[in-house]
Structure 1
């Protein structure tokens, strides 16, 4: 039987509104790719992100355009050459990894020559709300190892102080999602140190982050929106200490693995992150997470109902999906 690719738009309602500095969402809209080859089916997921000019319809169109290549047996390298980095390529690439492993009777970790996914500490995200509401959310998660606080410009100090007051023990990531200026970065540095913030994620808009090279920060600063693929790394030297690898930005696990290797070779620390997605989007990212200093893969925890057999969280420790969920044996 010949290969056959199919793709769908799937929507997962959230269990609470997810607010960041750019807006709020109440559902996760994803594209799901299935590639059948005889008795074997490989699956992959991508989350088109409006910040990068992506839409569900646009992603489905990109996938449909390469379907004849995939059906004809194209490799992951050939798909990478035929598609731009982004959510659509992520869905196809990770479906191909899954399919290859199932056909080979092994798992993706073995095929890639890397360690298998294992339970690890992953950030629990506190979305933007009133300081009191954020404190209440933080109090519910006070025992976890790592919290990530979404903030804006207007209430950042109150938001961070509220979370830290309610959860004194966890490590902290603060994520302004490009909403700060360099004045905030420098002016808030003493406060961030006092609050024991471990990582500041993408404080300035991508394309306007050159000012970071002019300051000395004793708090680690991580590139998110400023980093997509290996081609971006050279420009980030001197601006960031860490880089956030997301498969929906790299366009799949293939480029994410190469990006992680290149970033480490250039002296960057690694963070592995995600969009708000189902466990099908998290399973491939877990193969990178063991190498990262910071892991932020709680996307499925925001869903009212995840895919069956997905990841589970136990007090801030994320456990991989059930055997056979993704990645072969």
Structure 2
């Protein structure tokens, strides 16, 4: 997908479908959308205002240097954005403008976290018509007190990120990451490249695939994190809650046996999501398993099928992983 876009240039969905069918005759629009989302999760392409483009690729020298990631614990920033949305004929999903950006640092490197644990910024909106779309009286009041030019807030955010390894957001692949890139583009700033995207929704689905709801608040409660529903939909609060969910997922995997961890880590090799989990639990991010080991693990798990257990008692992934949506490797 990325190679196609680098060869042909950025395209809207119709042009991309025509180009894709030259290479893969008969590919459906739905299947193409899945391929685009997968490529976005890998950081290979991005979508801005309905146009899909390839992300920049470093040259060989830069790539070789980039392979040598900064030593030490994996450093992540968990972010959330709140946006005003209005109907638009040009944007089927609505036209968006971010008015609040919240973020927290997440890492086993506590020194790095403590030196600047949180970031919050309020972005000016184009006019009062947009401002009327801000949700909540408290948010409106704080917006009027603290809103600054988007380019200033986003510039401060990029500086605060420092040498971060990954950006984490709940449902970020289809929401926050795209919206942040679009806001940077409107502000005349480059997208936040050079960091790995991690979707915390994917981690929740992979670690707890039996949940009835994957709304952030519901996942947090199921994972044992205290949440006040009235405070959700505040960007900084949502970023804090997402960080709690990621830490809870890490604690859950810490209880998995070594064979189960090696199985999941081998499937998720190269995934920023599992690299973050491994760093938080101080477990090796990779591993190899042979077919015989996989068969033994699955046979052991299947023997326990049919015995219902509460969430807190699930210690290892077992056969319920068959209900998880998407790829195990994840973004």
Kindly indicate which of the two structures has a greater share of residues assigned to helix: 2
Same fold (TM over 0.5): no
Q: TM-score range by the shorter chain?
A: under 0.3
Q: TM-score, normalised by structure 1?
A: 0.28
